[in-house]
């Protein structure tokens, strides 16, 4: 074991840890706007993992030895204290993922995320030819990324995870097939076109070969219902990732009480619209049937975002630290799995500051009935709640605050529960502030979205604890969240490979509870505007870390 070295300052140590982290996750670093990582690909080989783990363990020793809270050399200013606490969290979480969770052995989605190149193509931070050189380097890394995946992944994987991974891989392959049409016309250098074409073909071949191996070798040996982490590992995963001490039983109790509360409110909103119909019938009659046309939906969404922004500023709910608006565009083909999605610039991005709010339109090949059914799902009321979540004051507003953060650590390290918890919390907060003027349709759309999230929370715990089957999870989404069978099945299956999707509701709980404590402590001096701005000023670490800073 190497002896941990001494550092001249906490800042030097912090930068060392950030370098370790970003070098191990260069795709993530590139999307953050750190373009020195644009040409690099992940290396999850055993040798690289072991080196990274050794480096993390050394960093943990240095942190405990030289920069503990009791140490005279420990950081004293507020930002450095925050960074010390955050480094401790992230180092422990990374060690946990490498030694206990080990998702690189059972989740192929880990490797599919490493194939991301969209930001290099779509975000105009450098000349197009320069970005295409980075794309070419990334594509040439595909064979190694996928070869390491084959080495690392267990021979007996869960069948639901394998089937989901194959669908995701097919999407990546389709994206590569479309890449020449998206890029070649913008390149004047014939040699670069030839080299990029070769890189695309090499990447397609590597993807096709990997998919064939998954279909012929992995899939036949995979079994349904073999995904469960188990109660103990799931509990440690939640506690380590979000720095909380609550047991699964306590978390479940909160979730069930929240689901019961939301269900009661759903029935109340339903009765306001039509007391003779069930909530499902009311949702279909009064909400799903009211949607924009294909021709107007993008324009109407732009107008909606502007109204949301004006409402937030007029009511002083949170600052919006940029005049740059979200550009509403049709969702790119490879991202059409979502109704709507936010594509914000990276926290370190200095040039390409544009932000895209994608709205998915019906496929041109669909018949009239399918197109109409799709638009029912993306109805006006639901689109308002989704836009709150994705843009104002949800993800886009949050990312604008992250960009302004004074902390490098706050820009690099994100908690699932803070990022998704904030966006989900804002849906409720906006309704409480008066958005929708009491319209029962808007309130019912909000309640359905909240019920989807709390059912995720409950099923993630129950699925991985072995107390619920996938069919039972699907039924819960249908019964409580009013989802149709196909959508309910998709939601249940996501919990198999993404147990962290419980974090939408977990983060909302944490922010709610912190706000309540701050309100009690501040009494008449409490300002919701200041609370939200202070909360977001730290970036997106675990909410419990922000609570330590705000309540000290």
Whether 98 and 58 map to the same domain: the answer is yes
Last residue of a domain, one of 173, 194, 221: 221
Residue 293: what pLDDT? 86
Whether 252 and 196 map to the same domain: the answer is no
Whether 163 and 254 map to the same domain: the answer is no
pLDDT grade for 75, boundaries at 50, 70 and 90: low
pLDDT grade for 376, boundaries at 50, 70 and 90: confident
Residue 355 within any structural domain of the chain: no
Mean predicted confidence (pLDDT) in 196-215: 97
Whether 60 and 122 map to the same domain: the answer is yes
Residue 398 within any structural domain of the chain: yes
- Give the least confident one: 218-222, 239-243, 373-377: 373-377
Residue 4: what pLDDT? 75
Whether 41 and 158 map to the same domain: the answer is yes
Whether 212 and 275 map to the same domain: the answer is no
Q: What percent of the chain has pLDDT over 90?
A: 84
Whether 250 and 151 map to the same domain: the answer is no
Residue 404 has pLDDT above 90, yes or no: yes
Whether 522 and 447 map to the same domain: the answer is yes
Q: What percent of the chain has pLDDT over 70?
A: 97
Residue 298 within any structural domain of the chain: no
Residue 213 has pLDDT above 80, yes or no: yes
Mean predicted confidence (pLDDT) in 369-395: 90
Residues 124 and 103: their CA atoms lie apart, in Å, by: 33
Whether 283 and 197 map to the same domain: the answer is no
Whether 420 and 490 map to the same domain: the answer is yes
- What would the two tokens of residue 214 be? 């998954």
Residue 321 within any structural domain of the chain: no
Whether 532 and 385 map to the same domain: the answer is yes
Residue 361 within any structural domain of the chain: no
- How many secondary structure helices (H) and strands (E) does the chain include? 25, 3
Mean predicted confidence (pLDDT) in 50-60: 97
- Mean pLDDT of all residues belonging to the chain: 93
Distance of CA 523 to the CA centre of its chain: 34
Domain, as residue range, for 168: 10-221
Residue 307 within any structural domain of the chain: no
Residues 64 and 57: their CA atoms lie apart, in Å, by: 11
pLDDT per residue as tens digits for the range 188-202: 999 999 999 999 999
User: Is the CB of residue 181 less than 8 Å from the CB of residue 118?
Assistant: no
DSSP for 501-529 reads GGHHHHHHHHHHHHHHHHHHHHGGG--HH
pLDDT per residue as tens digits for the range 405-464: 999 999 999 999 999 999 999 999 999 999 999 999 999 999 999 999 999 999 999 999
Q: What is the pTM of this model?
A: 0.94
What domain count does the chain have?
A: 2
Mean predicted confidence (pLDDT) in 474-487: 93
DSSP for 423-441 reads HHHHHHHHHHTTTTTT-HH
Whether 154 and 256 map to the same domain: the answer is no
Last residue of a domain, one of 165, 192, 221: 221
């Amino acid at each position: 074991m190497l002896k941990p070295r001494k550092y001249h300052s906490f800042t030097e140590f912090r930068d060392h840890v950030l370098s370790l982290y970003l070098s191990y996750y260069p795709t993530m670093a590139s999307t953050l706007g750190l373009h020195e990582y644009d040409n690099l690909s992940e290396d999850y080989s055993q040798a690289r993992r072991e080196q990274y783990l050794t480096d993390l363990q050394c960093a943990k020793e240095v942190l405990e030895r030289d920069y503990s809270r009791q140490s005279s050399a420990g950081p004293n200013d507020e930002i450095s204290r925050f960074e010390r606490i955050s480094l401790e969290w992230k180092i422990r979480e990374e060690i946990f993922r490498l030694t206990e969770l080990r998702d690189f052995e059972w989740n192929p989605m880990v490797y599919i995320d490493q194939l991301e190149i969209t930001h290099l193509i779509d975000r105009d931070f450098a000349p197009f030819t320069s970005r295409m050189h980075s794309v070419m380097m990334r594509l040439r890394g595909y064979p190694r990324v996928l070869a390491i995946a084959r080495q690392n992944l267990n021979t007996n994987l869960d069948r639901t995870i394998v089937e989901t991974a194959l669908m995701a891989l097919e999407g990546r392959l389709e994206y590569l097939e479309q890449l020449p049409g998206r890029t070649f016309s913008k390149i004047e250098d014939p040699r670069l076109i030839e080299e990029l074409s070769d890189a695309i073909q090499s990447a397609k071949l590597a993807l096709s070969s990997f998919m064939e191996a998954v279909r012929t070798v992995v899939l036949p040996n995979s079994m349904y219902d073999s995904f469960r982490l188990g109660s103990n590992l799931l509990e440690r995963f939640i506690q380590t990732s979000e720095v909380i001490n609550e047991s699964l039983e306590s978390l479940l109790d909160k979730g069930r009480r929240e689901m019961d509360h939301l269900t009661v409110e759903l029935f109340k909103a339903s009765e306001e619209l039509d007391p003779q119909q069930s909530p499902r019938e009311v949702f279909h009659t009064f909400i799903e049937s009211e949607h924009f046309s294909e021709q107007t939906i993008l324009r109407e969404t732009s107008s909606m975002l502007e109204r949301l922004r004006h409402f937030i500023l007029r009511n002083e709910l949170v600052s919006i630290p940029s005049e740059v608006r979200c550009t509403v565009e049709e969702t790119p083909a490879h991202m059409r799995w979502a109704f709507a999605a936010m594509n914000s610039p990276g926290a370190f991005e200095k040039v390409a500051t544009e932000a895209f709010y994608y709205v998915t339109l019906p496929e041109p090949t669909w018949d009239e009935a399918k197109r109409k059914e799709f638009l029912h799902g993306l109805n006006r009321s639901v689109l308002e709640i989704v836009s709150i979540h994705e843009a104002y004051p949800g993800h886009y507003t949050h990312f604008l605050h992250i960009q302004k953060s004074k902390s490098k650590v706050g820009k690099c390290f994100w908690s699932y529960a803070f990022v998704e918890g904030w966006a989900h919390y804002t849906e409720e907060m906006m309704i409480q502030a008066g958005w929708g003027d009491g319209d029962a349709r808007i309130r019912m759309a909000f309640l359905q979205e909240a019920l989807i999230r709390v059912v995720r929370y409950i099923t993630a715990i129950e699925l991985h604890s072995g107390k619920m089957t996938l069919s039972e999870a699907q039924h819960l989404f249908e019964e409580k969240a009013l989802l149709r069978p196909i959508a309910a099945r998709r939601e249940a299956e996501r919990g198999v490979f993404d147990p962290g999707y419980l974090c939408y509701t977990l983060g909302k709980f944490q922010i709610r509870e912190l706000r309540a404590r701050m309100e009690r402590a501040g009494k008449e001096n409490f300002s919701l505007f200041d609370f939200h701005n202070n909360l977001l000023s730290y970036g997106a670490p675990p909410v419990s870390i922000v609570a330590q800073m705000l309540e000290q």
